[in-house]
Amino acid sequence: MSVRRLAKVQPASFAFSKETRAKADWWIAKYPAGRQQSAVIPILWLVQKQEGWVSEPAIRAIADLLDMPYIRVLEVATFYTMFMLEPVGSAALIQVCGTTPCMLRGAGDLMKVCKDRIGPKQTLSPDGKFYWEEVECLGACVNAPMAMINDYYFEDLTASDMNQIIDDFAAGKTPERGPRVDRINSAPEGGPLTLTDPKLYDGSAAKPIKKLPNTEPVTA
Ligand code: FES
């Protein structure tokens, strides 16, 4: 993983939108008085949803809101890789998993497509629409190789799938998310291979429970 630093070019200021501020207040109210700092992660996320990324002025604004030292919010923002510290694509933020199962199943091909179509990793595309990066395991290894694009998982991908997905986002479409093979979520391709007997689920295989002799109902 690369070193996480704030972007060199920063906006002059940041302001919470009305909607973001209302949601932030909702999170703050969840915690007891004096513990508002616990809302730092959800508020960083709200700010990222508002701006697309987390800027230095936004970090300062969050710290002021939660009465925290600036450095504490900066520490959180730079620690968690879900927080983007520089502007990302207006159409798609593509995070390709590069951990072993995905690498063994073709993540390198997906990254090549991203590199060819978007540019070097962690760089905004020339048109400002796309940004891609390699990330660590996203917990969907059984559907490898996969990528998280904006807020959703796209799984069982091939290079051709990734090309199509980029085309779709570029055209303003919403490509289908989830597995790209014949499976539901992380079930086997073509359907389940075990526990397929319907008796397992309709109750007909259940043995009647024998009442133990001389037992009294249990009371509290
Ligand atoms: S290795 Fe890619 S999701 Fe786990």
Q: How far is the CA of 134 from the centre of ligand 1 (A)?
A: 11
Omega within 30 of 0 (cis) for the link into 145 = yes
Domain final position from 58, 79, 100: 79
Residue 196 lies in a domain: no
Q: Are 103 and 173 in the same domain?
A: yes
Radius of gyration of the chain (CA): 24
What's the structural domain count of the chain? 2
Decide: helix, strand or coil at residue 2: coil
The number of the ligand 1 atom at minimal distance from the alpha carbon of 144 is 2
Q: Are 72 and 139 in the same domain?
A: no
Q: Are 100 and 48 in the same domain?
A: no
Residue 2 lies in a domain: no
Residue 172 lies in a domain: yes
For residue 215, the model assigns a pLDDT of 66
Domain residues for the domain of 69 are 18-79
Q: Enter the tokens of residue 187.
A: 């079930």
Q: Are 74 and 102 in the same domain?
A: no
Query: In tens digits, what is the pLDDT along the chain, a chain of 220 residues?
Result: 567 899 999 999 999 999 999 999 999 999 999 999 999 999 999 999 999 999 999 999 999 999 999 999 999 999 998 999 999 999 999 999 999 999 999 999 999 999 999 999 998 999 999 999 999 999 999 999 999 999 999 999 999 999 999 999 999 999 999 999 999 999 999 888 888 888 888 888 887 777 777 666 655 5
**Between the CA of residue 141 and those of 80, 92, 102, 178, 183, what are the distances in Å?**
20, 22, 7, 13, 14
Residue 195 lies in a domain: no
Contact of 41 with 27, CB cutoff 8 Å: no
Which has the closest alpha carbon to 86: 133, 39, 41?
133
For residue 170, the model assigns a pLDDT of 97
Residue 165 lies in a domain: yes
Say which CATH number the domain at 149 has.
3.40.30.10
For residue 2, the model assigns a pLDDT of 65
Residue 158 lies in a domain: yes
Residue 64 lies in a domain: yes
Which has the closest alpha carbon to 49: 85, 78, 89, 20?
20
Q: How far is the CA of 137 from the centre of ligand 1 (A)?
A: 4
The number of the ligand 1 atom at minimal distance from the alpha carbon of 107 is 2
Q: Where are the alpha helices (DSSP H) in the chain?
A: 18-29, 40-51, 56-66, 70-79, 100-104, 107-117, 159-170, 199-202
Q: Are 73 and 23 in the same domain?
A: yes
Q: How far is the CA of 201 from the centre of ligand 1 (A)?
A: 32
Q: Are 69 and 144 in the same domain?
A: no
Q: Are 30 and 56 in the same domain?
A: yes
Contact of 118 with 79, CB cutoff 8 Å: no
Q: At a CB cut-off of 8 Å and minimum separation 6, what does 117 contact?
A: 130, 163, 166
Residue 200 lies in a domain: no
Q: Are 34 and 57 in the same domain?
A: yes
Q: Are 171 and 105 in the same domain?
A: yes
Residue 128: half-sphere exposure toward Cβ, Cα within 13 Å: 3
For residue 206, the model assigns a pLDDT of 80
Q: At a CB cut-off of 8 Å and minimum separation 6, what does 214 contact?
A: none
Q: Are 112 and 168 in the same domain?
A: yes
For residue 26, the model assigns a pLDDT of 97
pTM: 0.82
Q: How far is the CA of 126 from the centre of ligand 1 (A)?
A: 29
Say which CATH number the domain at 49 has.
1.10.10
Q: Are 166 and 103 in the same domain?
A: yes
For residue 1, the model assigns a pLDDT of 56
Q: Are 96 and 49 in the same domain?
A: no
The number of the ligand 1 atom at minimal distance from the alpha carbon of 140 is 3
